[in-house]
A = this chain, B = another copy of it.
Amino acid sequence: VTNRRPRSRRGEGERLREEILEAAERLLIETADAEAVSIRAVADAVGVSPPSIYLHFADKNRLLFEVCQIQFDELDRYIREAGTDLDDPVDVLRLQGRAYLRFGLDNPEHYRLLFMGRSDLPPPDGDVEAFLKLSCFGRVVETTRACIDRGRFEQDDPFTVAFAMWTMVHGLTSLLISRPTLPWPLADPEDVFDRFFELFLAGLLTH
């Protein structure tokens, strides 16, 4: 039991809710271990008793779910701000991919929670879909569509191409998180991404 948190004033009970969410995120970052984010650990980090959590969240899953929502927003921010000043949509796509990778490496445990955990834990499948369709993944699809519309890509289905891109970047990100010491062909993860992205763009076959 660390520092005791002073009780909120009347009418400000919702402040604890925010503090709980912040503490849960902080714990994920500091401990780098999703297992360490327990009701009791969060309560302790906030300076409050475990039952207090239940004043604001129905159960542990619900708490983790809301942490996920915040992290999806954060991921979206990374991608939204990538390549806004560039003209060529192919360059934008590259920077969006890099931004995705950077988000994962900056927040490995959050990334685990969002995309590598068991599907019966948060986030529920439906929400991953919704988030992907409506925000960050939607942006990648739009960038891909721009690549096609401007005649830079020889394909006709932006959704499938964007999905393939995502699969590749997710593979890279998740492997770097799970097995950081693999003998990667280049030392800097972003350089590895660039190299793979070039391969993906140019293809392998002789022309």
Q: Does A172 contact B (CB under 8 A)?
A: yes
The minimal Cβ–Cβ distance linking A80 to chain B, given in whole angstroms, is 21
Contact of A182 among B128, B151, B164, B202 (CB under 8 A): B128
Q: Does A125 contact B (CB under 8 A)?
A: yes
Q: In the complex the two chains form, is B119's CB within 8 Å of A179's CB?
A: yes
Determine the interface band of chain A, counting residues with CB < 8 A from chain B: 35 or more
Contact of A178 among B115, B132, B172, B179 (CB under 8 A): B115
Q: Does A207 contact B (CB under 8 A)?
A: yes
Q: Which residues of B contact A151 (CB under 8 A)?
A: 206
| Known A154-B204, A204-B155: A167·B183 in contact at CB below 8 Å | no
Assembly CA distance A28 to B33 (angstroms): 22
Assembly CA distance A38 to B108 (angstroms): 26
Q: Does A174 contact B (CB under 8 A)?
A: yes
Assembly CA distance A166 to B157 (angstroms): 24
Query: Which stretch from A46-54, A70-78, A193-201 is at the chain B interface?
Result: A193-201
Interface centre among A33, A160, A179 (most CB of B within 10 A): A179
Q: Which residues of B contact A160 (CB under 8 A)?
A: 185, 195, 199
- Nearest chain B residue, comparing its CB with the CB of A184: B163
| Known A201-B203, A206-B151: A178·B117 in contact at CB below 8 Å | yes
The minimal Cβ–Cβ distance linking A164 to chain B, given in whole angstroms, is 5
Assembly CA distance A2 to B14 (angstroms): 49
Q: Does A116 contact B (CB under 8 A)?
A: yes
Question: Can you identify 6 A-B contacts, CB atoms within 8 angstroms?
Answer: A125-B179, A147-B204, A160-B195, A167-B171, A202-B205, A203-B204
Known: A164-B195, A170-B171, A203-B204. 12 other contacts (CB 8 A): A125-B180, A125-B181, A151-B206, A152-B205, A155-B204, A164-B196, A164-B199, A167-B168, A167-B171, A169-B171, A171-B172, A200-B203
